[in-house]
A and B are shown apart, each in its own frame.
Chain A
Amino acid sequence: MRVALFVTCVNDTLFPGTGRATVRLLERLGCTVEFPLEQTCCGQMHFNTGYRDDARPLARRFTAVFDGYDAVVVPSGSCAAMVREWYPSLGVEPPAGVYELSEFLVDVLKVTDVGAYFPHTVTYHPTCHSLRSLKVGSRPFDLLSQVRGLTLVPLGGADECCGFGGTFSLKNSAVSAAMCADKVRGVLDTGAEVLCAADNSCLMHIGGSLARQRTGVRVVHLAEILASTEEDPA
Chain B
Amino acid sequence: MSGTFVGMPAFPEASSRAVDDAQLRYNLRKATHTIRARRAAVVGEQPDWAELRAAGAAIKDRTLRHLDVYLERLESAVTAAGGHVHWAEDAAEANRIIVDLVKATGETEVVKVKSMATQEIELNSALAAAGIRAYETDLAELIVQLGDDLPSHILVPAIHRNRAEIREIFTGRMAAWGRPAPENLEDDPRALAEAARLHLRERFLSAKVGISGANFAVAETGTLVVLESEGNGRMCLTLPETLISVVGIEKIVPTWRDLEVFMQLLPRSSTGERMNPYTSTWTGATEGQDFHLVLVDNGRTSVLADRVGRQALRCIRCSACLNVCPVYERAGGHAYGSVYPGPIGAILTPQLHGIAGPLEESLPYASTLCGACYEVCPVAIDIPEVLLDLRAKVVTKGHRGERLAMGAARRVLDNPKWLAMAQRSAGRLRRWAPRRLPGPLSAWSDTREVPVPPRESFRDWWVRRPNQEGDR
- Asked if A172 contacts B458 (CB within 8 A), the reply is no
Interface digits, A28-40 against B, CB 8 Å rule (1 contact, 0 not)?
0000111111111
Interface digits, B443-470 against A, CB 8 Å rule (1 contact, 0 not)?
1101111110110111101110000111
The 8 closest A-B pairs by CB, nearest first: A165-B368, A208-B448, A50-B391, A174-B16, A173-B443, A161-B370, A19-B458, A132-B371
Known: A34-B470, A89-B385, A170-B444. 19 other contacts (CB 8 A): A7-B458, A13-B422, A13-B457, A37-B471, A37-B472, A49-B402, A50-B394, A51-B403, A51-B406, A58-B413, A161-B326, A164-B368, A169-B444, A171-B365, A173-B16, A173-B444, A178-B25, A204-B451, A212-B447
| Number of residues on chain A facing chain B (CB within 8 A) | 70
Q: Does B438 contact A (CB under 8 A)?
A: no
Beyond A160-B326, A174-B12, whether A9 also contacts B406 by CB under 8 A is no
Q: Does B19 contact A (CB under 8 A)?
A: yes
In the bound complex, what is the Cα–Cα distance between A208 and B362 (angstroms)? 26
Q: Does B331 contact A (CB under 8 A)?
A: yes
- Asked if A14 contacts B326 (CB within 8 A), the reply is no
Interface digits, A10-45 against B, CB 8 Å rule (1 contact, 0 not)?
011111110110010000000011111111110001
In the bound complex, what is the Cα–Cα distance between A175 and B20 (angstroms)? 10
Beyond A37-B463, A133-B371, A209-B447, whether A171 also contacts B469 by CB under 8 A is no
- Asked if A170 contacts B456 (CB within 8 A), the reply is no
In the bound complex, what is the Cα–Cα distance between A11 and B419 (angstroms)? 13
- Asked if A51 contacts B410 (CB within 8 A), the reply is yes
Beyond A46-B406, A54-B406, A178-B25, whether A169 also contacts B443 by CB under 8 A is yes
In the bound complex, what is the Cα–Cα distance between A23 and B393 (angstroms)? 40
Q: Does B330 contact A (CB under 8 A)?
A: yes
Q: Does A177 contact B (CB under 8 A)?
A: yes
In the bound complex, what is the Cα–Cα distance between A177 and B451 (angstroms)? 17
In the bound complex, what is the Cα–Cα distance between A166 and B451 (angstroms)? 15
In the bound complex, what is the Cα–Cα distance between A167 and B406 (angstroms)? 11
Q: Does A111 contact B (CB under 8 A)?
A: no
Interface digits, B17-30 against A, CB 8 Å rule (1 contact, 0 not)?
00110000100000
In the bound complex, what is the Cα–Cα distance between A205 and B402 (angstroms)? 21
B459 CB contact (under 8 Å) in A32, A37, A177: A37
Q: Does A139 contact B (CB under 8 A)?
A: no
In the bound complex, what is the Cα–Cα distance between A48 and B394 (angstroms)? 12
- Asked if A54 contacts B458 (CB within 8 A), the reply is no
Residue of A nearest to B17 (CB): A174
Q: Does A108 contact B (CB under 8 A)?
A: no
- Asked if B11 contacts A212 (CB within 8 A), the reply is no
Q: Does B47 contact A (CB under 8 A)?
A: no
- Asked if A9 contacts B326 (CB within 8 A), the reply is no
Beyond A12-B457, A16-B454, A58-B414, whether A172 also contacts B15 by CB under 8 A is yes
Question: Would you list 26 pairs from A and B whose C-beta atoms are within 8 A, ordered by A residue?
Answer: A12-B457, A14-B451, A15-B454, A19-B462, A23-B462, A34-B469, A36-B470, A37-B416, A37-B472, A39-B416, A50-B394, A50-B395, A58-B410, A61-B414, A161-B326, A161-B372, A166-B368, A172-B15, A172-B365, A175-B327, A178-B330, A179-B327, A204-B451, A208-B451, A211-B448, A212-B449
Residues on A facing B (Cβ under 8 Å): 7, 9, 11-17, 19-20, 23, 32-41, 45-52, 54-55, 57-58, 61, 86, 89, 128-129, 131-133, 159-161, 163-180, 204-205, 207-209, 211-212
Q: Which residues of A contact B447 (CB under 8 A)?
A: 173, 177, 180, 208-209, 212
In the bound complex, what is the Cα–Cα distance between A171 and B454 (angstroms)? 26
Q: Does B388 contact A (CB under 8 A)?
A: yes
In the bound complex, what is the Cα–Cα distance between A52 and B394 (angstroms)? 12
Q: Does B205 contact A (CB under 8 A)?
A: no
Closest Cβ–Cβ distance, residue B32 to chain A (whole Å): 11
In the bound complex, what is the Cα–Cα distance between A200 and B366 (angstroms)? 22
- Asked if B19 contacts A178 (CB within 8 A), the reply is yes
Closest Cβ–Cβ distance, residue B306 to chain A (whole Å): 14
Q: Which residues of A contact B25 (CB under 8 A)?
A: 178
Q: Does B129 contact A (CB under 8 A)?
A: no
In the bound complex, what is the Cα–Cα distance between A9 and B420 (angstroms)? 10
Closest Cβ–Cβ distance, residue A56 to chain B (whole Å): 10
In the bound complex, what is the Cα–Cα distance between A209 and B448 (angstroms)? 4
Most buried by A among B19, B388, B423, B458: B458
- Asked if A46 contacts B472 (CB within 8 A), the reply is no
Residue of A nearest to B469 (CB): A32
Q: Which residues of B contact A35 (CB under 8 A)?
A: 459, 462, 468, 470-471
Residue of B nearest to A132 (CB): B371
Residue of B nearest to A129 (CB): B371
Most buried by A among B25, B409, B440: B409
Q: Which residues of A contact B364 (CB under 8 A)?
A: 50
- Asked if A48 contacts B369 (CB within 8 A), the reply is yes
Q: Does B392 contact A (CB under 8 A)?
A: yes
Q: Which residues of B contact A23 (CB under 8 A)?
A: 462
Beyond A34-B469, A132-B371, A161-B372, whether A12 also contacts B458 by CB under 8 A is yes
Q: Does B305 contact A (CB under 8 A)?
A: no
- Asked if A54 contacts B449 (CB within 8 A), the reply is no
Residue of A nearest to B402 (CB): A49
- Asked if B423 contacts A12 (CB within 8 A), the reply is yes
- Asked if B369 contacts A170 (CB within 8 A), the reply is no
Closest Cβ–Cβ distance, residue A124 to chain B (whole Å): 17
In the bound complex, what is the Cα–Cα distance between A168 and B414 (angstroms)? 23
